[in-house]
């Protein structure tokens, strides 16, 4: 059960939830603006937009509580702020794999972003086939009387990776985490096909660019 959107047994007040929502919303807005600026610069220099679209979400309090319990953390507001780094999440969908690495490198050069953690699930996919590039960054939020450093998780995927991840999530939810082995195996095989498609589309794009440059001489 929940009261005012707060799970019972979770010692976080309604005002703390409002504060959390404000802080993480500000942090996500700041990073989304950075991504949009980088995308515009990329489009100016390369005559194309590397980012197809950007989504963001604030983790639900019930999900935060469950994650803290799984990690064996005390259910305290300060612990939540210090230990749960994906309360604010941004998903960046790109056309090609090299776009993902280009955007990631641009973010790393931002001197007001601290890279907290980096996981490359594209070069090293998870066992279930999941592929994505994760960055957890910390960004300063300037309030009227103080500055707070807020972590945000950024997930970067190609369109094909995002399609696979969305389908896998729906299947996992439908079976309540107990997915039949044959379906798991099929999902892994589909992930391999998605990886192959991404590589082939990248090579095709590079070939098109080379022909275009040659004709432009």
Instruction: Tell me which residues are annotated as active site.
Output: 153
Q: Are 26 and 18 a contacting pair, CB within 8 Å?
A: no
Q: Which residues of 16-43 are buried (b: 16+ CB within 10 A; e: fewer)?
A: ebeebeebbebbbebbbebbeebbeebe
Q: Which two tokens stand for residue 211?
A: 């022909």
Complete edge-to-edge strand list for the sheet that includes strand 147-158 = 51-58, 88-94, 147-158, 133-142, 114-120
Q: Indicate the length of the chain as a whole number.
A: 217
> Using CA of residue 9, residue 15, residue 17, residue 19, what is the dihedral sign?
negative
Distance set, CA 185 to CA 180, 191, 194, 198 (Å): 9, 10, 14, 20
**Exposure string for 177-191, b = 16+ CB within 10 A, e = fewer:** eebeeeebeebbeeb
Q: Could you tell me whether strands 51-58 and 88-94 are parallel, antiparallel, or unpaired per DSSP bridges?
A: antiparallel
In whole angstroms, give the CA distance from residue 86 to residue 105.
20
């Amino acid at each position: 059960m929940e009261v005012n959107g707060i799970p019972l047994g979770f010692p976080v007040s309604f005002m703390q939830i409002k504060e959390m929502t404000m802080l993480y919303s500000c942090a996500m807005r700041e990073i989304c603006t950075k991504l949009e600026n980088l995308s515009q610069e990329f489009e100016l220099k390369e005559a194309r937009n590397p980012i197809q679209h950007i989504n963001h979400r604030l983790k639900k309090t019930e999900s935060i509580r469950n994650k803290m319990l799984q990690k064996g953390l005390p259910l305290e507001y300060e612990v939540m702020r210090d230990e749960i780094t994906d309360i604010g999440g941004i998903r960046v969908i790109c056309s090609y794999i090299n776009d993902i690495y280009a955007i990631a490198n641009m973010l790393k050069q931002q001197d007001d972003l601290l890279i907290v953690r980096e996981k490359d699930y594209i070069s090293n996919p998870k066992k279930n086939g999941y592929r994505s590039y994760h960055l957890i960054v910390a960004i300063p939020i300037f309030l009227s009387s103080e500055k707070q450093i807020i972590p945000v998780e950024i997930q970067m995927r190609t369109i094909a990776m995002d399609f696979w991840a969305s389908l896998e999530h729906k299947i996992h939810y439908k079976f309540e985490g107990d997915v039949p082995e044959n379906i798991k195996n099929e999902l892994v095989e589909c992930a391999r096909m998605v990886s192959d498609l991404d590589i082939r589309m990248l090579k095709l794009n590079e070939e098109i660019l080379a022909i275009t440059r040659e004709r432009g001489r």
